[in-house]
Amino acid sequence: MSVAPSRRRTQVDRSAETRMILIGAAIELLHTVGFAGTTTALIAKRAGVTTGALHHHFSTKDELMFGVLDHASERMRDRLEAEEHLSPDGVLHISDLVQHLWQVYGDPEYWAIWEIIIGTRSDGVLHPRVVTHRLDTMRTVLHPWLERHTSENDARPDIVAIFEFMLIAIRGLSLERFLDKDEAYFERNLKILAELVGQRLETLAQHDFSR
List pLDDT tens digits, range 135-184: 998 888 877 877 776 666 666 788 888 888 998 999 999 988 888 889 99
Domain ranges, residue 162: 63-210
191, part of any domain:
yes
Residue 175 to residue 53: CA distance in whole angstroms: 34
127, part of any domain:
yes
Q: What pLDDT is attached to residue 204? A: 80
Name the percent of the chain lying above pLDDT 70: 85
124, part of any domain:
yes
Instruction: Using alpha carbons, list the distances in angstroms from residue 15 to 12, 19, 48, 58.
Output: 5, 6, 14, 11
81, part of any domain:
yes
Query: Quick check: 158 and 146 in contact, CB under 8 A?
Result: no
30, part of any domain:
no
The model's pTM: 0.79
Q: What pLDDT is attached to residue 7? A: 62
- In the predicted structure, residue 2 carries a pLDDT above the cut 80: no
Instruction: Using alpha carbons, list the distances in angstroms from residue 126 to 65, 87, 94.
Output: 10, 42, 36
Average pLDDT in the 68-97 region?
76
93, part of any domain:
yes
Query: Quick check: 163 and 147 in contact, CB under 8 A?
Result: no
11, part of any domain:
no
The contacts found for 100-107 with CB under 8 angstroms, 24 or more apart, are 101/166, 101/167, 101/170, 102/170, 102/173, 102/174, 102/186, 102/190, 103/79, 104/75, 104/76, 104/79, 105/167, 105/170, 105/171, 105/174, 106/170, 106/173, 106/174, 106/177, 106/186
Number of domains within the chain: 1
Residue 96 to residue 173: CA distance in whole angstroms: 17
